[in-house]
């Protein structure tokens, strides 16, 4: 039976505090801990099955796999497909590739922060929208672009953003 370091403070809403999710986490670790590259495999599985990897989960993985906490944190931070908080129902990405950056992504981000009240990497309090930065999505001729869920919207302008975000703000 896996144990936790006694002095770890874990928020009540962390997946580790939910018996079902905790057993899923333990299963993923048990199934993969002997594999080469176990840290990456386990983190991938956790992201896919739990939806995010909280800081206590990262600490727990490090403890169970007996790898330095800094290595686990480093991997989670380096790869943008890992998230440390639950994603919203919808995702709005802002392309930071060169063409989009030059074309006005910083201004779009400022406007989006005003509209949504969050920073990139955060999710609105109602759990509806996660705002993210992404790399070039291959639509440079339409720069600047945002990606609303899977839908690329080009030649975006700050004054067009409220309309572009409205459908995902309203979809329950």
The contact set with ligand FES (CB under 6 A) reads: 95, 97-100, 136-140, 143, 145
Dihedrals phi, psi of 92, to nearest 5 degrees: -120, 115
**In the complex, which residue's CB is closest to ligand FES?**
97
CA-to-CA distance for 7 and 162, rounded, in angstroms? 46
Q: Could you tell me the smallest distance in angstroms from the CB atom of residue 110 to ligand FES?
A: 17
Q: Which is nearer to ligand FES, 57 or 92 (CB)?
A: 92
Q: Which is nearer to ligand FES, 56 or 104 (CB)?
A: 104
Q: Which is nearer to ligand FES, 65 or 137 (CB)?
A: 137
CA-to-CA distance for 107 and 113, rounded, in angstroms? 10
Strand partners, 151: 148
Q: Could you tell me the smallest distance in angstroms from the CB atom of residue 161 to ligand FES?
A: 16
Strand partners, 152: 147
Q: Could you tell me the smallest distance in angstroms from the CB atom of residue 95 to ligand FES?
A: 3
Q: Which is nearer to ligand FES, 35 or 157 (CB)?
A: 157
Residues 6+ apart with CB under 8 A from 118: 124, 129, 131
């Amino acid at each position: 039976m896996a144990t936790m370091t006694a002095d770890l403070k874990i928020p009540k809403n962390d997946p580790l505090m939910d018996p079902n999710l905790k057993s899923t986490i333990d299963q993923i670790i048990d199934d993969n801990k002997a594999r080469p590259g176990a840290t990456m495999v386990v983190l991938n599985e956790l992201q896919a099955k739990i939806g995010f990897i909280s800081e206590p989960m990262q600490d727990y993985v490090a403890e169970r796999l007996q790898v330095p906490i800094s290595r686990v944190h480093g991997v989670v931070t380096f790869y943008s497909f890992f998230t440390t908080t639950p994603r919203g129902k919808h995702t709005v990405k802002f392309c930071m590739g060169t063409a989009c950056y030059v074309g006005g992504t910083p201004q779009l981000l400022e406007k989006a922060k005003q509209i949504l009240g969050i920073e990139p990497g955060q999710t609105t309090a109602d759990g509806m929208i996660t705002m993210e930065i992404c790399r070039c999505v291959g639509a440079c001729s339409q720069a600047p672009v945002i990606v609303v869920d899977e839908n690329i919207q080009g030649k975006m302008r700050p004054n067009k953003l409220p309309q572009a975000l409205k459908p995902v703000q309203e979809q329950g």
